[in-house]
């Protein structure tokens, strides 16, 4: 990410702050495969409103990626083991603590 001029801390903090304000968000990961970036968001339940919120937040942080391609993946609870959340190229930005 550094070679693209992207600040990992700025992106992470922005996504983490958003996730903390959204009660439906369980987990947020940021991935980079050497060419493209991905933001995966695991939600308590998948709904059109939840997808809209995720896509809106990705649009809000898009300028931090210096025009690099960013893919968004809103995921439901049955997709918790999805590769986009658990790949070696994925970094966890936020994970909700269980009470």
Q: How far apart are CA 57 and CA 46, in angstroms?
A: 16
- CATH architecture of the domain formed by 2-95: 2-Layer Sandwich (3.30)
pLDDT tens across 33-53, in order? 888 899 999 999 999 999 999
CB 95 within 8 A of CB 16: no
pLDDT tens across 48-83, in order? 999 999 999 999 998 889 888 899 999 999 999 998
Q: Where are the beta strands (DSSP E) in the chain?
A: 25-32, 37-43, 70-75, 90-95
Q: Where in the chain are the domains?
A: 2-95
Cβ contacts of residue 16 below 8 Å, gap of 6+?
28, 93, 94
Q: How far apart are CA 15 and CA 30, in angstroms?
A: 9
If you search the block for the tokens 């937040």, which residue do you land on? 57
């Amino acid at each position: 990410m550094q070679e693209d001029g992207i600040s990992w801390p700025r992106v992470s903090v922005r996504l983490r702050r958003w996730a903390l304000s959204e009660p439906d968000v369980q987990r947020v990961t940021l991935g980079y495969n050497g060419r493209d970036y991905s933001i995966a968001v695991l939600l308590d339940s998948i709904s059109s409103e939840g997808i809209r919120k995720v896509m809106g937040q990705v649009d809000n942080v898009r300028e931090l990626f210096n025009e690099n391609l960013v893919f968004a993946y809103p995921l439901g609870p049955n997709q918790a083991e999805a590769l986009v959340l658990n790949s070696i190229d994925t970094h966890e930005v936020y994970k909700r603590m269980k009470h």
